[in-house]
Amino acid sequence: MHRLVVSAIATALLALTLAACGGEDVERSNDYVRAVNAAQTSFAQTFDRLQSQITTSSTPAQDSATLGRFRAAIDDVVADLRRVDPPDSVRQQHEQLVAAIRSYGTTVTKARAAFRSKDATEILAARTQLSTDVARTSVRINQTIDAINRTLRGE
């Protein structure tokens, strides 16, 4: 798998870092931000470790196995984020964030299945589709994070 795809996933999820200030109950907002950032930090550490396992010489089977570990990491961060109790003002946006991140799991699962193929054309198409899907999801996540930040700042 191309390092670019993995980097795109990691970059989008590193964007989970939120900044609470002003707005409704500041303490509750700060607790929310801390909880989301804790989930993000754990996820980022896992991604860093897994990213090093993907090289230009890795085989589709190795990439598939690594994608399985990525999927588990995505499932973990989604579970962590579902346990977070967001302030009412960002509850809907938080659900959108969780859904966007969860969609990475679907994307990774599809690519993983294609990487098990013996057909080089199918594998290449899966890599291309994975890259496209990751870019699209990254935009959704970044837009949601921006909306959460604006709401927490009272904008």
pLDDT tens digits, one per residue of 9-32: 555 554 445 555 554 477 788 888
Domain that holds residue 121: 3-152
CA–CA separation, 140 and 78 (whole Å): 15
pLDDT tens digit sequence for 70-117: 899 999 999 999 999 999 999 999 999 999 889 888 988 988 888 888
In this structure, are residues 17 and 40 in contact, taking their beta carbons and an 8 Å threshold? yes
Hunting for tokens 């900044």 — which residue is that?
19
- Selection from 73, 4, 5, 89 nearest residue 40 by Cα: 73
In this structure, are residues 69 and 5 in contact, taking their beta carbons and an 8 Å threshold? no
Count of domains forming the chain: 1
Q: Quickly state the pLDDT bin for 155 (edges 50, 70, 90).
A: confident
CA–CA separation, 91 and 108 (whole Å): 26
